[in-house]
Amino acid sequence: MADIINTKMLTSGQEVVISRGDITEVEADGIVNAANKHLQHGGGVAAAIARKGGSVIQEESRRWVQEHGPVKHDRPAYTAGGELNCKYVIHAVGPVKGEEDADRKLSDAVEGSLLRAEELGLNSIAFPAISTGIFGFPIDRAAEIFMETIRKFYQHYPESSVKTVQIVLFDKRSLDVFNREFERVFKAES
């Protein structure tokens, strides 16, 4: 369960939500895992998702990498949700702080997750702040990229089946930064 902090209904009919809570407790058709390219869920959000979701997540992740190779930023992998309150976990690979072309890679991970959710026919998706934990990507820049990417996605795909995008943040600083950027980007949308 997550507490809604801010919400915006877009003119195209989709809702963007900022909430505070634990992404492993959120009820959504899909949740996004901040993954590494080999889908080894050993730390951070990835470990929490794999632990709570059960062994099926790591087992399906191993099979994915065997069949498709390392996960690319713009083509997230997906597995069953296991014991989580979701049908699928979308495994998005964001950039590591200092990595070349990091802004584009983070945008690709967010947009790729939305496109994967569309492909899977999902109505709702929940994101953590990809790359801002153990990957060290600056939270301020991440919030800006997230909001702009979501806004542009719905401009290009106004008929998307993904009706609700929720960004779930755990700590107050991340919440404040993402909420400030949410206000900046979506206040103009009426």
Instruction: Give domain limits for the chain.
Output: 2-186
List the one residue out of 8, 3, 15, 45 whose CA is nearest residue 137.
Answer: 45
Helix, coil or strand: residue 58: helix
Tell me the HSE value of 9 on the side-chain side, using a 13 A CA sphere.
1
The fold of the 2-186 domain, in CATH, is Leucine Aminopeptidase, subunit E; domain 1 (3.40.220)
Pairing of strands 124-127, 77-80: unpaired
Biggest alpha carbon–alpha carbon distance for the chain: 46
pLDDT per position as a tens digit, 22-75: 999 999 999 999 999 999 988 888 999 999 999 999 999 999 999 999 999 999
pLDDT per position as a tens digit, 102-146: 999 999 999 999 999 999 999 999 999 999 988 899 999 999 999
Say yes or no to pLDDT of 1 above 70.
no
Output the pLDDT for position 11: 87
